[in-house]
Amino acid sequence: MLEADLLALDAPLGVYPWHAEVFDVWVGTWRTWRWLVGMTAARRVGLDFQQVESVLRLQGIKRKAWPAIFRQLRIMETAALEVLAEREK
């Protein structure tokens, strides 16, 4: 979605237009977590970044944008893992 498309929407999104591309990738990869499974519990340990590349390709994101999106995804991944860990307590 282009920035102009986001600005034309009537409903509030809660996502800044300049973060829309990485947010779309995040949504596309949300269910691709790597899990650590033990005898008594399982927990997410991070995104499966092989799947991230698939999402980047399928969404038609230019390769030169991948490093920046990857860095932003790592930030989002860290924040999500912190929230998920807090919920498990």
For 41-87, write each residue's pLDDT tens digit: 888 889 998 899 999 999 999 999 999 999 999 999 999 899 888 88
Nearest partner of 34 among 21, 48, 19, judged by Cα: 48
Listed residue (7, 28, 26) closest to 17, CA to CA: 7
The pLDDT assigned to 2 comes to: 43
Largest CA distance in the chain: 50
Q: Span 14-22, mean pLDDT?
A: 87
Supply the pTM of this predicted model.
0.74
pLDDT given for residue 66 in this prediction: 96
pLDDT value, residue 5: 57
Query: Residue 63's pLDDT is what?
Result: 96
